[in-house]
A and B are shown apart, each in its own frame.
Chain A
Amino acid sequence: AQSVSQHNHHVILSEAASLELGCNYSYGGTVNLFWYVQYPGQHLQLLLKYFSGDPLVKGIKGFEAEFIKSKFSFNLRKPSVQWSDTAEYFCAPWGGKLIFGQGTTLQVKP
């Protein structure tokens, strides 16, 4: 069965701090990996995706993620967060269907 786990439920950072959000998934076959973001009052939107090739993928707004197949992980990173990054972040593996982790609420203090 397909499953996903996000390690951090609530993260509070100051502006300019570095961010890393953990995501581990389980699925026996080929998997595509996504990170979605939900800004306050807005709908879910794609942050970045991995299908194949270079395991380090870059997304919008300076976010990047690294796929480590041996660890079944797809961690999200940003070197320097901004107040506008305050949002909920969801890791979502696709292995036949798209499922979501429980999400991480990121609060960036100005």
Chain B
Amino acid sequence: DTGVSQNPRHKITKRGQNVTFRCDPISEHNRLYWYRQTLGQGPEFLTYFQNEAQLEKSRLLSDRFSAERPKGSFSTLEIQRTEQGDSAMYLCASSLEAGGADTEAFFGQGTRLTVV
């Protein structure tokens, strides 16, 4: 499968614990996005990378959230001291930025986080 891969698919954690999700984008894609989606809502932008550089982070994002893309390939999203409000589907997408514009973004299956 050469699509966007996310692991794990499901994560249940206790409130206060830290969690880390991984995203493997399509190999030639230089852009990588993280989104959060709750039931009945559209994907909410969290952050995105171009290669290894984190270009933007949502102002709504708590400082408990951090993302990395150390070598411009896979990315991790860490949530520290999880809260019940963090329960959501976390989506990763990748695209090829060319000439200043994104081509189609391809999405992974997502990681569903449940904080109990």
Contacts and interface: CB of A to CB of B under 8 A. Distances in A.
Given A43-B108, A43-B109, A49-B104, A100 B43 contact: yes
B102 A43 contact: no
A4 to B, nearest CB: 8
A34 to B, nearest CB: 7
Interface in B1-50: 33, 35, 40-45, 48
A30 B102 CA distance: 12
Interface residues of A, number: 22
B84 to A, nearest CB: 22
Contact of B42 (A34, A51, A94, A102): A102
Interface in A73-110: 90, 94, 96-103, 105
Interface residues of B, number: 22
A98 B33 CA distance: 8
Contacts, number: 50
A32 interface: yes
A99 B107 CA distance: 13
B67 interface: no
B102 A94 contact: yes
24 contacts: A6-B42, A32-B101, A32-B102, A36-B107, A43-B108, A43-B109, A44-B91, A44-B93, A45-B107, A46-B104, A51-B101, A94-B101, A94-B102, A96-B56, A97-B45, A97-B48, A98-B93, A98-B95, A98-B105, A100-B43, A101-B42, A102-B41, A103-B41, A103-B42
